[in-house]
Structure 1
Amino acid sequence: MVTTERLYSGMQPSADSLQAGNYIGALLPWRRMQAEYDAFFSVVDLHAITVPQDPAELREKTRRTAAQYIAAGIEPSKSTLYVQSHVKAHTELAWILSTITGFGEAGRMTQFKDKSQRFGESATSVGLFTYPVLMAADILLYQTDVVPVGDDQKQHVELTRDLAERFNARFGKTFVVPKPVIAAEAARIYDLQNPTSKMSKSAESHAGVLWLLDDVSVTAKKIMRAVTDSDGVVRYDREAKPGVANLMTIYGALTGSTHAAIEDEFAGRGYGDFKKAVRDAVVAEFEPVRAKALELLDDPAELDRVLAVNAGKAEEVAERTLTDVRDRIGLLRRG
């Protein structure tokens, strides 16, 4: 049953295909949550341009990401699914919030520190520095109650809460102060070849990444070649058996089985049988999603129409918030 509470979340269009970690860690929970909340889901393309992008590729990746949202069960008739840059209020509110954000608190954001150290000062943009302020605008525009995020984004939601409370204290009650919902450990998916690192589009090798839009034969081979250990026992132990634990997490997420049930199911059976079961579960889950996404991408005009309709719905909510913000901070209305 849908509550009156509002939910907001989004992902960057930073790859041609989403991967298993995106699907299990974000899309599956989103699909459940859209039945419980007034849900807003965005393809956050403005966040993607904090690092260099090829323009044509960015447009294509944005469509492909939106198509995969829909194919995975995010229904535009139930949720407001739109492209971030289609709602101009995001950037205007981000600028306003940046004027109440301390330079020091923005500089303390862990992701910025990590990326700026990795890329070097000359390759680090001001946009990357203010990324968390734009994320705060994304959330606060929609008077969001609940924000599902991973551990790596929790700090950004805490900054959002701080900015909402600061604005409310200075200018009067304007924003809902959102609550983060942190993804469970069970939703964290690791690289099949390096199971101590999260599965990621930025992995040095894609041999351990399960892409949602890969051909099923490629997906099947990657699972059968996944790193395990010499123990031969299907048992969940994240520290001692990271490869097996990762495959158990994937299998459990797609079948609804607990770790204990998986251990019982494969007691006395080798890793070969276990990997085949994981393979079959992943292929059964991914193939209809892949087929639907490719079907949507075959008609980009219709996909663009759906996104435009939803952007209009998002814009109505966002503009109400932004009008209130402008009035409260003293900006003169246009006559």
Structure 2
Amino acid sequence: MLRRARLHSVQCLSTYGRAQTIFRMQHTALAEKRVIVSGIQPTGVPHLGNYLGALKSWVELQNTAQPQDELYFFIVGLHALTVPQNPKTLFADRQNLMAALLAIGVDPLRCTLFQQDAVPEHAELMWYFACITSFGRLERMTTWKSKLATLHNGGNTDHVQASQLQLGLFAYPVLQAADILLYHPTHVPVGEDQAQHLELTRDIAEGFNRMVKKRYFPTPSTLHTPSKKILSLRNPAVKMSKSAPDANSRILLTDSPKNIQAKVRRAVTDADRFLSYDPEARPGVSNLINILSALDGGTLRRELGTTVLDTDPARLAETLHTATGGSGAKLKAILSESLIEALRPIQERYHDLLQDPTYLATIEKRGAERARERAHTTISQVRTMLGLQKETL
């Protein structure tokens, strides 16, 4: 039954796309159209920080989008190549991440979901932008320094060697600008660590517009979504990361109930015998409360005997303290059960999807086709403005 439903959704993609286009044209005048663009690196199965920090917001943006809105969500395989990769692992990670995105609720009927490397216009536009972006501007970007330090110097940026830097890693913010501007977005959801990149994207858009003497590319606005910054369970001074050497520092969306319980039990907290939300003074406890506040709360509502739950982290901490007597062990137990409950349906869908690679390949193909329709228009117009092809009437 589930397979038939999937096949039906695939068959409806092209029909849905045409109907959606007509509907959007008819209603553009009634409401402001938003074009939202966002991508994620193919690191395989997402961890909890990826999910609560960005991907859950994708689903919320999709589910609250107006009929005239366009959403482009993609897996940025070209960005993954800025650091050494095992080809077989990268290919599997791309597929696993696509399955995970579908499992958490990203709907290819309501957004354009695709693999970035299947749309060559991304790389072509990046080259045009590279020709108008100064070396000095890229040198001031901070991400390449931290990534290079992690690769070679254990995270110490004081010992970054210029000889260790590859052009792809140095210039990847230009590719990121191309990823975004290719679809003429109005809004881009970004985290705090991506603010500098969006600023560069706006600068590149304005520089291109000045060069061609017309306002062609928009300067997209930052879209603030209710995402959570999830920290490492073992070192709450840093973000949860898949590259951290301690596997207990992160929870993967596919972790078993036993693994979830063990990782939460080992999470760093403190010796205070009360619960409070204070990210500066109590980062470990606050991180666990932050995670709990971002979940749907079925387990927590049952534990507290209520149907209405205030998920503001500070007020949630007060409620938990009153109900549990400030027990850190009880907080970890409730969090473990909440995570197991929230992730169970995602895990079931994920494993089911991996059993059907043909379906995943079809979704990827249809998404790339839809993305290329828009990307081809942009590239054709850019080529004309740059003098690389004849203007068509």
Q: TM exceeds 0.5?
A: yes
TM-superposed CA distance for 1:114, in Å, is 2.3
SS in 1 for 2:73: strand
SS in 1 for 2:287: helix
Return closer, same or farther for 1:117/1:230 CA change in 2, 3 Å cut-off: closer
**TM-score, length-normalised on structure 2?**
0.81
- Corresponding residue of 2:95: 63
CA contact (8 A) 2:275 2:320 kept: no
TM-superposed CA distance for 1:121, in Å, is 3.5
SS in 1 for 2:94: helix
Matched letter for residue 292 of structure 1: R
Moved more, 149-158 or 121-130: 121-130
SS in 1 for 2:188: strand
* Alignment size in residue pairs: 333
Identity of aligned residues (%): 38
Alpha-carbon separation, structure 2, partners of 1:48 and 1:169? 32
- Corresponding residue of 2:287: 246
1:134 corresponds, among 170, 175, 198, to 175
Alpha-carbon separation, structure 1, partners of 2:316 and 2:231? 21
- Corresponding residue of 2:60: 32
1:329 corresponds, among 386, 389, 393, to 386
Following TM superposition, the consecutive aligned residue runs of length 4 or more in structure 1 with deviations greater than 6 angstroms are: none
2:231 corresponds, among 190, 196, 201, to 190
CA contact (8 A) 1:151 1:183 kept: no
- Corresponding residue of 1:219: 260
- Corresponding residue of 1:8: 37
Structure of larger gyration radius? 2
Matched letter for residue 257 of structure 1: T
Alpha-carbon separation, structure 1, partners of 2:82 and 2:391? 31
CA RMSD of aligned residues (A): 1.9
Alpha-carbon separation, structure 1, partners of 2:99 and 2:374? 23
Structure 2 gaps of 5+ residues are 1-26, 153-160, 298-309
- Corresponding residue of 1:18: 46
Give the 5 Å matches for 1:241-280. 241-254=282-295, 255=297, 257-259=311-313, 260-267=315-322, 268-280=325-337
Alpha-carbon separation, structure 2, partners of 1:261 and 1:115? 36
Matched letter for residue 109 of structure 1: M
Return closer, same or farther for 1:3/1:266 CA change in 2, 3 Å cut-off: farther
Alpha-carbon separation, structure 2, partners of 1:20 and 1:158? 27
Moved more, 126-135 or 256-265: 256-265
SS in 2 for 1:233: coil
1:169 corresponds, among 197, 210, 214, to 210
Give the 5 Å matches for 1:69-148. 69-118=101-150, 119=152, 120-148=161-189
TM-superposed CA distance for 1:165, in Å, is 0.8
Alpha-carbon separation, structure 2, partners of 1:135 and 1:63? 21
Alpha-carbon separation, structure 1, partners of 2:373 and 2:32? 20
Matched letter for residue 76 of structure 1: P
- Corresponding residue of 2:369: 312
CA contact (8 A) 2:289 2:316 kept: no
Matched letter for residue 207 of structure 1: N
Alpha-carbon separation, structure 2, partners of 1:130 and 1:78? 32
